[in-house]
Amino acid sequence: MPFLTVDRENSADVELYYEDHGSGRPVVLIHGWPLDGASWERQTAALLAAGHRVITYDRRGFGRSDRPTTGYDYDTFAADLDRLLTDLDLQGVTLVGFSMGSGEVTRYLGRYGSARVAKAVLISGVPPFLLKTEDNPEGVDGAVFEGIQAAIAADRPAFLSAFLQDFYNADALPDRISPQAVQASWNVAVGASAHATLACVPAWLTDFRADLPKIDVPILVIHGDADRTLPLSATAARLPALITDTRLAVVPGGPHGLIRTHAEEVNEELLSFIG
């Protein structure tokens, strides 16, 4: 599959790996941290079977994409997404962002508009604003993110192992997520750029509240009510009041990584929304 040049660092181009399969109305899937585009395998299969064209890509620093030491902020991530949509000349796209990928979708629509976009989906999303401040009391204390950065810097493989257990609520959902599946996610995560893994953490604290009122396409928000990583009350539950045309679908018992553990529920919502 091909690569797309999106940037340059010193003497080398920065290229993103992407896959482009099927035909029909295009759906672009944007993965979460610390995984890659292959994490969408259950959604890709369902979308292709339903007759859609499906495009996945690996965020810079992750998967098979290049690993620069720059560009780990949402303005750059949105610019990378814009380059993909422009170079492939995609029209009438449904953008689907999971976890960190929800930020790309939100910032893209806030900055570049909806000329190429028909609908968008935010799954286990980051917006509107994770950091607790005086005007955002629903957010999370900044010390939590400082602790995450310290843990990654001290022992990235150990941190990722613990993180993924809570990502999937593996202790509570042994019938929905196997140890092998968690291990496979760890293999992908530990294989990502160490620099990118750490550098992405500050981006989680991006304030998307100015982007949200600019969104003028229908939005589906899917979130699990047992999300230990990005709690429903601090994220998705706030979005219907901030985006004009939004439907919130709460998945009972769904963890953060519900695109795998609750793939059938997610796919049903996704396919119904896309049409």
Q: Which residues are catalytic?
A: 99, 227, 256
What is the crossing angle of helices 101-112 and 74-87, to 10°? 70
Q: Where are the beta strands (DSSP E) in the chain?
A: 3-9, 12-21, 26-30, 53-57, 93-98, 117-123, 219-224, 246-251
User: DSSP 3-state assignment of 29?
Assistant: strand
Other beta carbons less than 10 A from residue 203's beta carbon: 18
Q: Which residues are within 8 A (CB) of 113 and not within 5 positions of it... i.e. 6 or more apart?
A: 214
Is residue 61 within 8 A of residue 199, CB to CB? The reply is yes
Tokens of 59: 């965020």
